[in-house]
Amino acid sequence: MKPQTRVLPDSNQLIIAATEQFVSTARNAIAKRGVFYVALAGGSTPKGLYQQLAQSPYRDQVDWQRVHFFFGDERCVPADHDDSNFKMARLAMLDALPVPDSNVHRMPTELGEAKAVAVAYAETIKQTMQSAPFDLVLLGLGPDGHIASLFPDTPALTVTDTITTDLYVEKFDSWRVTLTYAVINAARQVIVFIAGEAKAAIVHDITTQTVTGLPVQKLAPSGDYYWYMDQAASGQ
Ligand code: 6PG
């Protein structure tokens, strides 16, 4: 499925544009339904976006009490580990926002087994959101075309009967838990957030269809679908 693409001249303008989109989506969801359910991306790219959201004026534009933060994926490490996506988001944004702790739903990696984390997290999503879809799923793009922890040639790509799954990622020698396509595609809005020259090759291969069948290319969002990137990543 082809996304609507927005290319910004540099990483700072990309962050501002994506921050404004996030705030607008959050405000609309809260106005319509009284709540905003968002799944955050991990990795390094979104850190700047999270830091911007935690600063004025953006932090003053959302009723954070009505926001529920989830995570699109997580490394199976302790919540205070430097590799933790939760820790990255907590330090970049969550600690600075007036969001109730009960509205921040990290993956319970303290359970140990990745499978147990995946099962417990699926329950948390269902109990918190009931049958509502995510209002927004934020995704980064890996250089191999992965999104969340939906890595190429892994069983996670074919899971259809659950909203979360666990997987072992050989190249990182690490267990991960990820949202599956079913729940990402059901979101009202999906944003893939891409920055930097290091992503130009994968972006080129995808946009020219030089490569096909990558995890990001299997996305089929039923709602709004955007790619936000800077010129360095777009190769323009
Ligand atoms: C993770 C992420 C992963 C990330 C991409 C891009 O846990 O690593 O969820 O999907 O978004 O690998 O990572 P960068 O933003 O660091 O390039």
User: What separation in Å is there between the alpha carbon of 136 and the centre of ligand 1?
Assistant: 17
Answer whether residue 1 shows pLDDT above 90. Answer: no
In angstroms, the CA 58 to CA 53 distance is: 5
CATH code, domain carrying 76: 3.40.50.1360
- In terms of DSSP bridges, do strands 224-230 and 4-8 run parallel, antiparallel, or are they unpaired? parallel
Main-chain phi, psi angles of 87, to 5 degrees: -60, -40
In angstroms, the CA 18 to CA 228 distance is: 7
Starting at the edge strand found earlier in the chain, the sheet holding 174-179 runs 73-75, 174-179, 164-169
* Span 3-37, pLDDT tens digits: 999 999 999 999 999 999 999 999 999 999 999 99
Structural tokens at position 203: 């972006």
Number of neighbouring beta carbons within 10 Å of residue 161 = 7
Domain tally, the chain: 1
In angstroms, the CA 176 to CA 148 distance is: 10
Q: What is the pTM of this model?
A: 0.98
Q: Is the CB of 43 under 6 A from ligand 1?
A: yes
User: What separation in Å is there between the alpha carbon of 138 and the centre of ligand 1?
Assistant: 11
In angstroms, the CA 10 to CA 26 distance is: 24
Using pLDDT thresholds of 50, 70 and 90, give the confidence band for residue 236. confident
Q: What's the rounded mean pLDDT across residues 93-103?
A: 98
Q: Is the CB of 235 under 6 A from ligand 1?
A: no
Q: Which helix (H) or strand (E) holds 192?
A: strand 189-194
Q: Which helix (H) or strand (E) holds 101?
A: none
Note down the domain range covering 50.
4-234
User: What separation in Å is there between the alpha carbon of 164 and the centre of ligand 1?
Assistant: 17
Give the largest CA-CA distance in the chain.
45
* Span 143-191, pLDDT tens digits: 999 999 999 999 999 999 999 999 999 999 999 999 999 999 999 999 9
Answer whether residue 125 shows pLDDT above 90. Answer: yes
Q: Is the CB of 142 under 6 A from ligand 1?
A: yes
Number of neighbouring beta carbons within 10 Å of residue 82 = 8
Which ligand 1 atom is at minimum distance from the Cα of 85? 7
Q: Is the CB of 42 under 6 A from ligand 1?
A: yes
Write the single-letter amino acid at 201. A
